[in-house]
Amino acid sequence: MLDLGEDYRAIRRRHPDTSFVKVFTFNSARKSMSTVIPLENGGYRVYTKGASEIILSKCSYILTDGGRVEKFSGAAQDRMVKDVIEPMARDGLRTISIAYKDFVPGAVSEPNQVRADAEPDWDNEAKIISNMTSVCIVGIEDPVRPEVPDAIKKCQRAGITVRMVTGDNINTARAIATKCGIIKPGDGYLVMEGKQFNALIKDGKDQVVQSKLDEIWPRLRVLARSQPIDKYTLVKGIINSKVNANREVVAVTGDGTNDGPALKKADVGFAMVIGSLYSYVEHVKSNVHPFSIRVSPGLTWLRRLPTLSLRTTTSAAL
């Protein structure tokens, strides 16, 4: 913001929370959040930020050099994904897209404006968050802490299989998992998105088939663009599996209330004690504990390593 000549604190003072007309809060389904503010000359502006490829798919316009608004075709969006988003993701960056949409009273002066002489129906989210104008793609780095790769090695030497379940872009997830040592080039382990995972393990009635899941989970190391239910499905499937002679003992970490079902289902649940999750921890069964211990140096950094599968014979390592 400093490079843009703006101070975000000044912007927040101009637009306090009390001035917001509507807020579409972030959740794992929409993978974005949107805020509606009033415009000085009447009307409203919707600001949206979230997972890049998802936000781009909701854009019909793009803000180009000099502030010009141009049509944003599907082909141009595909090029943006290939030339901008994917290279950032391969470098381990989380990419976030920022977009906006204006609702104005009276005649419109720009092609991306929507005439609204009355207040729009904010409950119609699909219509509100559509035909947006793309502003930019931002790459955010959440660096792997130096001690994490060694911690992963110690777990692996102890017979603990570390799996990563994340909402991140698959390329971002793969890059981070490689840096951590969860996967290595050419090791043959699976890295897939939640959508593919569900397609492979479910039948025509959308029911999980244990035999299909058993073909996936032993080689699965990274599950990207996942929903909270995917983590629960994976945990339950590993626990119920008869692939090995001994039942797998599963430990899960979570840092949000959406992780509650997986934390509760796991043999051991480690909760990152922040916000509303602490209240959840206080009310679920005793296998969920506030995360305040160290398995080995670095394993307190587990917000990106949400699923640990432990063999029964080595569960004492946890």
pLDDT tens profile 116-157: 999 999 999 999 999 999 999 999 988 888 888 998 998 899
% pLDDT > 70, the chain: 83
Residues 168 and 114 in one domain: no
In a domain, 295, yes or no: yes
Q: At a CB cut-off of 8 Å and minimum separation 6, what does 85 contact? A: 52, 53, 95, 137, 169
Lowest mean pLDDT segment, chosen from 13-22, 30-39, 93-102, 255-264: 255-264
Residues 172 and 83 in one domain: no
Residues 38 and 166 in one domain: no
The enclosing domain of 303 has a CATH number of 3.40.50.1000
Lowest mean pLDDT segment, chosen from 19-28, 204-213, 216-225, 267-276: 267-276
Number of domains in the chain: 2
91 vs 101 pLDDT, higher one? 101
Q: What was the pLDDT predicted at 258?
A: 75
% pLDDT > 90, the chain: 57
Burial code (b: 16+ CB inside 10 Å, e: under 16) for 216-226 equals bbbebbbbbbb
Angle at 59 between CA 101 and CA 12, to 5 degrees: 40
pTM over 0.95: no
Residues 171 and 123 in one domain: no
- DSSP annotation of 29 reads T
In a domain, 3, yes or no: no
Residues 64 and 197 in one domain: no
Lowest mean pLDDT segment, chosen from 75-89, 110-124, 255-269: 255-269
- CA–CA distance, 122 with 129 (Å, rounded to integer): 10
Lowest mean pLDDT segment, chosen from 107-111, 181-185, 292-296: 292-296
φ, ψ of residue 240 in degrees (nearest 5): -85, -10
pLDDT tens profile 194-231: 999 999 999 999 999 999 999 999 999 999 999 889 99
Q: Per this entry, what is the length of the chain?
A: 318
Q: Which domain holds residue 31?
A: 8-141
Residues 155 and 116 in one domain: no
In a domain, 1, yes or no: no
Residues 277 and 152 in one domain: yes
The enclosing domain of 110 has a CATH number of 3.40.1110.10
Q: What was the pLDDT predicted at 254?
A: 79
**Residue 307 — pLDDT band, cuts 50, 70, 90?**
very low
Q: What is the mean pLDDT of residues 86-100?
A: 92
Query: What value does the mean pLDDT of the chain take?
Result: 84
User: What is the full DSSP assignment across 44-60?
Assistant: EEEEEEEEHHHHHTTEE
